[in-house]
A and B are shown apart, each in its own frame.
Chain A
Amino acid sequence: ETGVTQSPTHLIKTRGQQVTLRCSSQSGHNTVSWYQQALGQGPQFIFQYYREEENGRGNFPPRFSGLQFPNYSSELNVNALELDDSALYLCASSLKAGAYNEQFFGPGTRLTVL
């Protein structure tokens, strides 16, 4: 196992609600990236946090927001949930944000929006 943990493992919400997903990075890792993986597709990059600052964002609307804490754990917040937000949300931590740094994925949070 990678040492990256995520909570909760599963979540069911209704359209319009808000959700917060949590990720604890592997010990010593200061970079956390979040990805959305719809069923049958590859993970899509949402954003990355490096030393508590956002370090790049994918093509996701502002209702997707995040935080990184001093211990490098991270949260992903999604407001005004839509049906299409149903997906597996993965966080990945790495030692640094540089191009050649391997990412270690957590087990994911399965979000279902009804």
Chain B
Amino acid sequence: GQQVMQIPQYQHVQEGEDFTTYCNSSTTLSNIQWYKQRPGGHPVFLIQLVKSGEVKKQKRLTFQFGEAKKNSSLHITATQTTDVGTYFCAGPVDGGGNKLTFGTGTQLKVEL
């Protein structure tokens, strides 16, 4: 079945350092979404990418969708303590629609 993997599983950075998480799907995706989940919280939608090779920016966050639409990345420039949480990518389950298969997640910890 469809699998969505993320690396790394954990990342510990000093505040001000950059951070990147990579997402790889076993199948081609029509779109990919990114969510952030704070400790003890629920997933919060960050962005959706649809086009092959698409790059979108939100302040210090840069999202990229691969040319083959099977991989994606999230890069955070100059991390802050407010960036702490687990970042998930998610793609439509086999069969389409907005039912999601979530990636394994990358947990980010930021130290002062």
Cβ-based interface call for B53 (8 A): no
User: What sequence of 0s and 1s flags, for each residue 70-114 of chain A, a beta carbon within 8 Å of any chain B beta carbon?
Assistant: 000000000000000000001010101111111111111000000
Q: Is the CB of B43 within 8 A of A43?
A: yes
Most B-side CB within 10 Å, residue of A42, A98, A99, A100: A42
Q: Is the CB of A55 within 8 A of B101?
A: no
Q: Is the CB of A33 within 8 A of B42?
A: no
Q: Is the CB of A99 within 8 A of B96?
A: yes
Which segment, of B14-22, B59-67, B102-110, faces chain A? B102-110
- Note all chain B residues with C-beta closer than 8 A to A56: 93, 95, 97, 99
Distance A60 CA – B9 CA, assembled complex (angstroms) = 25
User: What sequence of 0s and 1s flags, for each residue 17-38 of chain B, a beta carbon within 8 Å of any chain A beta carbon?
Assistant: 0000000000000110101000
Cβ-based interface call for A68 (8 A): no
User: What sequence of 0s and 1s flags, for each residue 79-106 of chain B, a beta carbon within 8 Å of any chain A beta carbon?
Assistant: 0000000001010110111111111110
Q: How many residues from A make CB contacts under 8 Å with B?
A: 29
Distance A94 CA – B100 CA, assembled complex (angstroms) = 12
Most A-side CB within 10 Å, residue of B1, B42, B102: B42
Q: Name B33's closest neighbour in chain A (CB-CB).
A: A102
Distance A42 CA – B87 CA, assembled complex (angstroms) = 10
Interface contacts (Cβ under 8 Å), in number, total 72
Indicate which residue in B93, B98, B103 contacts A103 across the interface (CB closer than 8 Å).
B98
Indicate which residue in B41, B45, B88, B103 contacts A102 across the interface (CB closer than 8 Å).
B45
Q: Is the CB of B43 within 8 A of A100?
A: no
- Note all chain B residues with C-beta closer than 8 A to A31: 98
Report A25 CB to chain B, min CB distance, Å: 14
Known A43-B102, A44-B102; contact A99-B42, beta-carbon cutoff 8 A: no
Q: Name B105's closest neighbour in chain A (CB-CB).
A: A42
Can you give 9 contacting A-B residue pairs, CB < 8 Å? A42-B103, A43-B88, A45-B100, A56-B95, A59-B1, A98-B98, A103-B45, A104-B45, A105-B35
